[in-house]
Amino acid sequence: MAVLVSGGAGYIGSHAARALRRSGYEVVLYDNLSTGFRRLAQGFELVEGDIADEAKLRPVLARVDAVMHFAAHAYVGESVGNPRKYFRNNVVEALSLLNSALDAGIRRFVFSSTCAVYGIPGQIPIKQVQITEQTPREPVNPYGASKLFFENALEAYRRAYGLRSVTLRYFNAAGADESAEIGELHDPETHLIPLALAASTATGRDLQVPELQIHGSDYPTPDGTCVRDYIHVSDLADAHVRALQYLERNGDERGDDSLAINLGTGRGHSVFEVIQTAESATGRPGPAQDRTAAPRRSPGSGGRSGEGSKSAGMDRPAQSHRHRFECVGVDAEKQIICKWQLRTATQELQTRGLFKLPITNHQLQILSSSAPTSRPAPRAAPSFRRSR
């Protein structure tokens, strides 16, 4: 089976592409490289183009059997300041891709969505913060709203055209492929883990590593900093492959076997936990006590968040609570490794259980049965259980 991976030169899409190939799929990457990187697509066929370019898509879709859709703008804060950018790309252009796939006769579609469709987890009682697929979807920012719109489109296309799809929702992806050939790479980088690793291993002045900003230290959490749900990117990639295998095994022409599933570890980690673990993993000095006044939180915030540090800072107007890491010099090779999130530090973080934990989301049991015998079975991955 051949699969088109839109946004395949991005962070999560590039990891999914490798997981697909390891599972025996033929993979075609489709990316306009506006936020993706050509180096993440090395070793794959890469078609450069916009997802709204029907003429460019038509011959590519004619030779694939399924679409795995990652291409999207994904900064919560930016979506608040520039919503038209998000609705244009995440809705209008994504619908163009969906229509092109439908016109090409494709009926298997895996959508990489977000838990931002659920809105503010802090409004859920603090002892009941586990978000299930039954949690009402009430996004509070244009990014979440744009993803929800596309989820609704998939549901409408299921009823009208028999399109079969799996929607996967998650918060903060982290980590890197075990090969260390690819890893987390954004420009600018806004995610906490790579920033913490960079700040604790490199000379900030030489590598232009900025202060690590902690947006709030007065949350109702054990250490006062925001708690986030991290999931390892390789686990996400495995889940997307399992979703596709599920669609292969189940051939309901009405699309009644479509699913929407949350992915997560079931355990959050605070900003301080991540910083302390990065310090321990790298063996570098800890943060200096250079702080500003902690900001006020928005009403109803319970200290849990998704979508990266940029969003956490921009969602609420406030001063930053800063920690400046003391950094030591590293050679050129280590600077390059640092850009890929420091394989050794990443492995240490994994062994300490920070961000490669069994996926405890309850519903993907249905995706975890054996793969079709026509291809090699994928590597072992966490099991999933249906939500109650």
- What confidence category does residue 216 fall into, taking pLDDT thresholds of 50, 70 and 90? confident
User: Between 279 and 310, where is the model more confident?
Assistant: 279
Pairing of strands 227-228, 66-69: unpaired
Of residues 25, 30, 118, 143, which has the active-site annotation? Answer: 143
Q: What is the DSSP letter of 363?
A: S
Find, among 33, 328, 80, the residue nearest to 185 by Cα: 33
- What confidence category does residue 215 fall into, taking pLDDT thresholds of 50, 70 and 90? confident
At residue 185, the pLDDT reads 74
Q: Thinking of the domain 2-169+230-263+358-367, which architecture would CATH place it in?
A: 3-Layer(aba) Sandwich (3.40)
Find, among 115, 312, 131, the residue nearest to 227 by Cα: 312
DSSP-H helix ranges across 202-232: 204-207
Cα diameter, the chain: 61
- What confidence category does residue 199 fall into, taking pLDDT thresholds of 50, 70 and 90? confident
Pairing of strands 45-48, 26-31: parallel
- Residues contacting residue 355 through CB under 8 Å, at least 6 positions apart: 174, 175, 193, 230, 231, 232, 265, 269, 349
At residue 241, the pLDDT reads 96
380, two tokens = 């072992």
Q: Please determine whether the domains at 2-169+230-263+358-367 and 192-227+268-351 fall in the same fold group of CATH.
A: no
99, two tokens = 């229509």
Q: Which residues of 179-217 are buried (b: 16+ CB within 10 A; e: fewer)?
A: eeebbbbbeebbbbbbbbbbbbbbebeebebebbbbbbb
Instruction: Give how far the C-alpha of residue 72 lies from the chain's centroid of Cα atoms, to the nearest Å.
Output: 11
At residue 160, the pLDDT reads 96
Is 177 a residue whose pLDDT tops 70? yes
- What confidence category does residue 26 fall into, taking pLDDT thresholds of 50, 70 and 90? very high
Q: What is the pTM of this model?
A: 0.76
Separation between Cα atoms, residue 198 and residue 247, nearest integer Å: 40
Is 118 tagged catalytic? no
- What confidence category does residue 197 fall into, taking pLDDT thresholds of 50, 70 and 90? confident
Residues paired with 230 in a beta bridge: 172
Q: Thinking of the domain 192-227+268-351, which architecture would CATH place it in?
A: Alpha-Beta Complex (3.90)
Is 149 a residue whose pLDDT tops 80? yes
Instruction: Give how far the C-alpha of residue 313 lies from the chain's centroid of Cα atoms, to the nearest Å.
Output: 18
Provide, rounded to the nearest whole percent, the portion of the chain with pLDDT above 90. 45
Give the number of other CB atoms < 10 A from CB of residue 351.
10
Lowest mean pLDDT among 45-59, 106-120, 187-201, 305-319: 305-319
DSSP-H helix ranges across the chain: 11-22, 54-61, 76-81, 83-87, 94-103, 142-161, 192-201, 204-207, 233-249, 271-282, 308-314, 332-339, 343-351
What does the domain layout of the chain look like in residue ranges? 2-169+230-263+358-367, 192-227+268-351
